[in-house]
Structure 1
Amino acid sequence: MGGSSGVGESAAAAFAADGAEVVITGRNQDRLDAALARIGGKTTGYRMDATDQGAIDAFFAQSGTVDHLVVAVTGAAGGGPFAELDMKELAAGFDAKFWPQVRILKAALPHLRQDGSVTLITASSARAAFPGTAGLAALNGALEAMVPPLAVELAPLRINAVSPGVIDTPWWDRVPAEQRQALFDGVAAITPVGRVGQSEDVARAIHMMAANSFITGVVLDCTGGANLPTGR
């Protein structure tokens, strides 16, 4: 879900490279078609607005049994200094990411293989302390808080999350190029691996969480070590 660009597309490509039958969803048909051409393999697309409950239900009604569900639906609203944070913008952030991921998971339950897996894509802002990210921390933290209890409640279905750091994907296209590059350079300078992430880095983590049948209830950081306490 949310597989027509960025992390979702790279994850779909990783599964397709294994020979899996992959379905990607997205709101824009042109972007879906372009992603399908890049991914190849046994991959099909389904145009769906993840904020539309009816569309979610219609997708699963025709999906058949799903072995592994990856929910990469995201949004850009909810960031900024807390003193200036518009509550409508924060609500829009929840509407774009938190509620769609929860609704998708709930709608998917009758259609998931009993011992299959669900991997949510959150963000390291959930447990970081960067100024201007309190809203993002709230919505991503809410998703991450659900992972352990759901893993127990829904067992043997496995529930995990991958929590990326700063990843160079189209999510950042809303930031002017020069400003974006300066931000990436600054993050790389204080990150142990010395760079920002690529969508393929996160895709490998997602693939591992789905493939390893002995992992559940885990939120896996994929940050290049940027979340580690360094004293800086």
Structure 2
Amino acid sequence: MNATDLRLSPAPNVRSLILGAQSGIGRALSARLSRRRGQLTLACADLQQLDATADTLRPLAKSSIDTHQAQLDDIDSLRRLFERAGRIDHLIIAASAPAPAGPLAELDLDQARQAFERKLWGSIQAVQLALPYLSGNGSVTLTSGIVARKATPGALARTVINAALEASVKVLARELAPLRVNAISPGLTDSDGYHGMEPFARMSALARAGEKLPVGRVGRTDEIASAYLFAIDNAYVTGTVIDVDGGALII
């Protein structure tokens, strides 16, 4: 093993905390991190669903896994979360906030403001509250989306929210250095958000959408999760938005 391998290898017994760990990308990332030695804290608003996720991970886990109820727009729950978790090496915010869609003429601006408050200021609030517990050589990884930079009619609210979040990454990376701050920007992914659809209709819709991408298909949650691991492990990456979108931004 050379010096580069040593720098990029995950340190043993790290303490990671994932907000939004119960489903989709957050669950896939939880599974990947649970196979590393250390302490893994999982948090979301639905504790019952989160406990079910943790129970599926524990048989193969090398980490000890704790679960806590918390959500981005509940400051008291976030305070309790960080107090109970203690020292954190890596904070990952994978929680999402549904935003209204549709053309501007029909857009519910109150709902858009609420979504902006939850995802943008909720994420920043979580980072602020976590600061006393974050190790100086650790990392913060936020979650954006390709609509931040891909003009998509009917997605104004999500565009504004994610573009603001991406802009904050570079500021925070400089302000909080040597703590590293990055964001992952997923493209179209076959995740829990589509599982409410009838299975054949979901598969057909995702297949049609995937055919338009350079890679010829939509993403899988484990593929998105691997990008978070890269941001966590690579100590030379900060102030960066990592696109994992199958080439959506180049078409």
Q: Which SS does the other structure have where 2:177 is aligned?
A: coil
The superposition leaves residues 198-222 of structure 1 with CA deviations (integer Å, 9 ceiling, x where unpaired) of: 1111110001100110100000000
Q: Which SS does the other structure have where 2:141 is aligned?
A: strand
Q: Which consecutive segments of 4 or more residues in structure 1 shift more than 6 A? A: none
Q: Match of 2:214?
A: 192
Q: Which SS does the other structure have where 1:18 is aligned?
A: coil
Pick from 165, 168, 173 the counterpart of residue 151 of structure 1.
173
1:87 aligns with 2:104: no
The structural deviation recorded for 1:175 is 5.4
Kindly provide the amino acid, as one letter, of the partner of residue 147 in structure 2: S
Q: Which runs of no fewer than 5 residues in structure 2 stay unpaired? A: 1-18
1:2 aligns with 2:20: yes
The superposition leaves residues 149-204 of structure 1 with CA deviations (integer Å, 9 ceiling, x where unpaired) of: 11111100000000000111112345565654443122211111111111111110
Q: Match of 1:102?
A: 124
**Distance in 1 of aligned mates of 2:112 and 2:199:** 25
The root-mean-square deviation of aligned C-alpha atoms, in Å, is 1.5
**Distance in 2 of aligned mates of 1:76 and 1:197:** 20
The superposition leaves residues 42-68 of structure 1 with CA deviations (integer Å, 9 ceiling, x where unpaired) of: 221111232111111111122211000
Kindly provide the amino acid, as one letter, of the partner of residue 215 in structure 1: V
**Distance in 1 of aligned mates of 2:143 and 2:136:** 21
Pick from 96, 105, 128 the counterpart of residue 74 of structure 1.
96
Relative to 1, partners in 2 of residues 1:181 and 1:93: Cα closer, same or farther, differing over 3 Å? Answer: farther
**Distance in 2 of aligned mates of 1:61 and 1:127:** 36
Aligned sequence identity (%): 33
Relative to 1, partners in 2 of residues 1:133 and 1:177: Cα closer, same or farther, differing over 3 Å? Answer: farther
TM-score (norm 1): 0.93
1:26 aligns with 2:44: yes
Give the length in aligned residue pairs: 229
Relative to 1, partners in 2 of residues 1:92 and 1:172: Cα closer, same or farther, differing over 3 Å? Answer: farther
TM-score (norm 2): 0.86
Q: Match of 1:162?
A: 184
**Distance in 2 of aligned mates of 1:104 and 1:175:** 32
Cα contact 1:73–1:100 (8 A) shared by 2:
no
